């Protein structure tokens, strides 16, 4: 049973992440951890024409390997915003609900946000608005090792119990579960919230 889930910040988080956020009370987003590479903090996965496609936000190189997540700055040496947006358009342009949401999402790939955590937070607020749900969650005020909470900071959010739904390239590669929240938003539209609230959120830590 999930008790006060402690979640990492996430870039367009996986579907199971949002299922937890919607279903569980008193969720908390970690603000006092060190940045962890190769995680949901700065990468997401969408369904491209060739299957699972990973999108990663580059960060500024730091002098120390241990940098607080709130101090992680986004790098713009690469044109990652254009690349990510083009990948999203290519993946979902023919999905049923892309046309209804694209104009809300696109500005986030035009403005240059300095800090990763601010970018993630703003995107998360947008996603919740598009899902038309009001979710109450907080940000951590200190780093916690122990306590009455479920530590999901290092959880991979790879649920194997996900109900199938129609995906754009499903005939080519079959159903791919637990992609970015964008996948159900563009494919299911207004039904996304019902899908999230019906998912099994029981996990193995």
pLDDT at 68 over 80: yes
Q: How many CA atoms lie within 13 A of 192 on its CB side?
A: 25
Q: How confident is the model at residue 205 (pLDDT cuts 50, 70, 90)?
A: very low
Contacts of 84 by beta carbon, 8 Å cutoff, 6+ apart:
55, 57, 109
H helix intervals, the chain: 15-23, 80-92, 98-105, 116-130, 170-173, 181-188, 192-198
Q: How many CA atoms lie within 13 A of 178 on its CB side?
A: 15
pLDDT tens-digit profile of 172-199? 999 999 999 999 999 999 999 999 999 9
Contacts of 139 by beta carbon, 8 Å cutoff, 6+ apart:
28, 29, 31
pLDDT on residue 158: 76
> Which residue's structure tokens are 């369904």?
47
pLDDT tens-digit profile of 123-155? 999 999 999 999 999 999 999 887 888 899 988
pLDDT at 204 over 60: no
Residue 152 tokens, joined: 């999901």
Instruction: Please give the model's pTM, rounded to 2 decimal places.
Output: 0.94
Give every strand in the sheet of 150-151, ordered side by side.
137-139, 27-29, 5-7, 150-151
pLDDT tens-digit profile of 76-130? 999 999 999 999 999 999 999 999 999 999 999 999 999 999 999 999 999 999 9
């Amino acid at each position: 049973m999930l008790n006060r889930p402690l979640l990492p910040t996430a870039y367009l988080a996986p579907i199971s992440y949002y299922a937890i956020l919607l279903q569980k009370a008193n969720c908390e987003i970690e603000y006092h951890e060190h940045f962890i590479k190769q995680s949901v903090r700065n990468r997401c996965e969408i369904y491209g024409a060739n299957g699972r496609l990973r999108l990663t936000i580059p960060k500024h190189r730091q002098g120390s390997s241990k940098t607080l997540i709130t101090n992680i700055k986004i790098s713009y040496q690469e044109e990652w915003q254009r690349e990510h947006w083009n990948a999203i358009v290519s993946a979902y342009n023919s999905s049923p609900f892309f046309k209804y949401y694209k104009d809300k999402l696109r500005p986030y790939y035009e403005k240059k946000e300095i800090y990763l955590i601010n970018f993630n937070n703003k995107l998360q607020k947008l996603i919740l608005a598009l899902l038309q749900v009001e979710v109450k969650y907080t940000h951590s005020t200190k780093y916690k090792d122990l306590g009455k909470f479920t530590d999901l900071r290092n959880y991979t959010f790879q649920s194997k119990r996900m109900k199938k739904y129609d995906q754009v390239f499903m005939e080519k590669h079959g159903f791919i579960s637990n992609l970015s929240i964008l996948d159900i938003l563009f494919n299911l539209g207004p039904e996304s919230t019902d899908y999230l609230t019906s998912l099994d959120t029981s996990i193995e830590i």
